[in-house]
């Protein structure tokens, strides 16, 4: 039988060797982590390659208008052009399918938007566009019964009482706009929690004038943009008429905050069908802009010069059907200046 002295000696040895083992494990992990970090820096993982499954892409459908000659000055927070992603996703946009119940569905949609269900063709030669009226109010809905795009108009001169009162605050107005679309089953998933902007307006002498506060206004304009896509859903959208969205509404202060004017130019995309494509560097995009190869979406209050304050990647939401949802490099500047250059490298654009 072991004596107490032998047991004590054995226990101390076990504890000592156990401490040695723990120390070795800690040191080993520390050395391994340092080695792994150094290895990753010296031998970075291979960059993902673009899949380019759609082949050559169609050119972006920029509106056809002449670009003025502009002198550009860069005033960027970083002091230089930023680095943008080397590749990003391109998404398909499914085409519209004609429906024998298109007119019936359009009547239901008009009713959901608050209009009468007896629509009339705008022009006989344009069979898909109908006008719906709103009873006693001077309001009209112009609706394409195939694509679903629509515009709402209101004759304020015939009903100036619609301007009485203060319009809703931006958050409330945004909810009102989304509720209208939801009732008509037009609130797409990528509009439900998407970015929005607002503009306070005052209507006077047949003009819509921008004002700085809600208390000065008698109307508020709400712009609903599509949610972000691409890298971590972080790439936002821009439109041909920035800073105006393709989906926007003007809400009055009269009659409890009523939507009186609006545009809905929304075309769905399929986020499950995409392919990645390589992108231009920002300095190449800027050279193309200076050489007149970009699209000036909004010259703003500028004449022959523009100061660029922000350069970033965005998706171009054309407000019309396009086969693919594609990115652009955006040059945003003072006085609402917006210009775009196609972001995908040139070899992947068709003629």
DSSP per position, 241-308? TTTS-SEEEEEESSTTT-EEEEEE-----EEEEEEEEEB--HHHHHHHHHTT-SEEEE--S-SSEEEE
Separation of alpha carbons 50 and 58, rounded Å: 17
Tokens of 210: 């921008």
Contact between residue 267 and residue 321 where contact means Cβ atoms under 8 Å apart: yes
Is there a single domain that holds both residue 175 and residue 239?
yes
Separation of alpha carbons 331 and 337, rounded Å: 8
Is there a single domain that holds both residue 238 and residue 298?
no
Q: What is the pLDDT of residue 45?
A: 67
Is there a single domain that holds both residue 84 and residue 170?
no
DSSP per position, 114-167? T--S--EEEETTEEEEEEEEETTEEEEEEEETTT--EEEEE-GGG-GGGG-SPP
Tell me, yes or no, whether 154 lies in a domain: yes
Please compute, for residue 137, the number of CA atoms within 13 A of its CA located in the half-sphere on the CB side: 20
> Range with the lowest mean pLDDT among 205-209, 315-319, 323-327?
205-209
**Overall domain count for the chain:** 2
Of the candidates 229, 244, 266, which is a domain's last residue? Answer: 266
Radius of gyration of the chain (CA): 29
pTM, to two decimals: 0.85
Is there a single domain that holds both residue 158 and residue 200?
yes
69-112 per-position pLDDT tens digit: 899 999 998 889 999 999 999 999 999 877 778 888 999 999 99
Contact between residue 115 and residue 262 where contact means Cβ atoms under 8 Å apart: no
Is there a single domain that holds both residue 109 and residue 204?
yes
Expressed as residue numbers, the domain containing 86 is: 71-93+273-348
157-196 per-position pLDDT tens digit: 999 999 988 899 999 999 999 999 999 999 999 999 999 9
Q: What is the pLDDT of residue 344?
A: 98
> CATH number, domain at 328?
2.40.128
Of the candidates 266, 282, 300, which is a domain's last residue? Answer: 266
Tokens of 30: 């520390």
208: confidence class by pLDDT, cuts 50, 70, 90? very high
Residue 277 has pLDDT above 90, yes or no: yes
Q: What is the pLDDT of residue 191?
A: 97
Is there a single domain that holds both residue 221 and residue 309?
no
Q: What is the pLDDT of residue 188?
A: 95
Tell me, yes or no, whether 53 lies in a domain: no
Q: What is the pLDDT of residue 14?
A: 66
Residue 336 has pLDDT above 80, yes or no: yes
9-62 per-position pLDDT tens digit: 666 666 776 677 788 788 878 877 877 676 567 656 667 788 999 999 999 999
Size (the chain), residues: 351
């Amino acid at each position: 039988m072991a004596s107490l002295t032998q047991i004590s000696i054995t226990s101390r040895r076990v504890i000592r060797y156990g401490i040695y083992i723990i120390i070795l494990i800690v040191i080993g992990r520390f050395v391994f982590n340092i080695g792994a970090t150094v290895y990753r820096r010296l031998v970075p993982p291979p960059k993902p390659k673009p899949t380019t499954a759609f082949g050559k892409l169609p050119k972006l459908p920029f509106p056809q208008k002449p670009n003025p000659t502009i002198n550009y000055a860069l005033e960027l927070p970083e002091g230089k052009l930023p680095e943008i992603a080397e590749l990003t996703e391109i998404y398909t946009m499914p085409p519209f399918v004609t429906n024998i119940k298109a007119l019936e569905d359009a009547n239901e949609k008009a009713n959901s938007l608050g209009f009468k269900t007896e629509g009339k063709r705008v022009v006989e030669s344009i069979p898909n566009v109908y006008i719906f009226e709103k009873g006693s109010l001077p309001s009209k809905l112009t609706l394409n019964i195939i694509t679903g795009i629509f515009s709402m108009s209101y004759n304020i001169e015939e009903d100036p009482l619609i301007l009485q009162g203060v319009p809703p605050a931006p958050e409330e107005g945004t909810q009102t706009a989304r509720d209208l679309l939801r009732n008509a089953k037009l609130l797409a998933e990528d509009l439900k929690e998407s970015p929005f902007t607002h503009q306070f307006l005052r209507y006077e002498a047949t003009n819509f004038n921008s004002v700085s506060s809600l208390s000065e206004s008698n109307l508020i304009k709400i712009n609903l943009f599509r949610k972000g896509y691409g890298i971590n859903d972080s790439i936002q959208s821009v439109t041909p008429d920035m800073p105006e969205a393709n989906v926007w509404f003007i809400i009055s202060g009269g009659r409890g905050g009523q939507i009186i004017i609006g545009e809905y130019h929304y075309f769905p995309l399929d986020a499950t069908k995409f392919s990645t494509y390589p992108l231009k560097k920002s300095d190449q995009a800027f050279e193309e802009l200076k050489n007149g190869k970009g699209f000036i979406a909004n010259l703003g209050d500028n004449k022959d010069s523009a100061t660029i304050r922000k350069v970033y990647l965005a998706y171009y939401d054309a407000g019309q059907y396009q086969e693919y949802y594609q990115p652009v490099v955006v040059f945003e500047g003072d006085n609402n200046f917006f210009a775009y250059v196609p972001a995908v490298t040139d070899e992947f654009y068709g003629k």
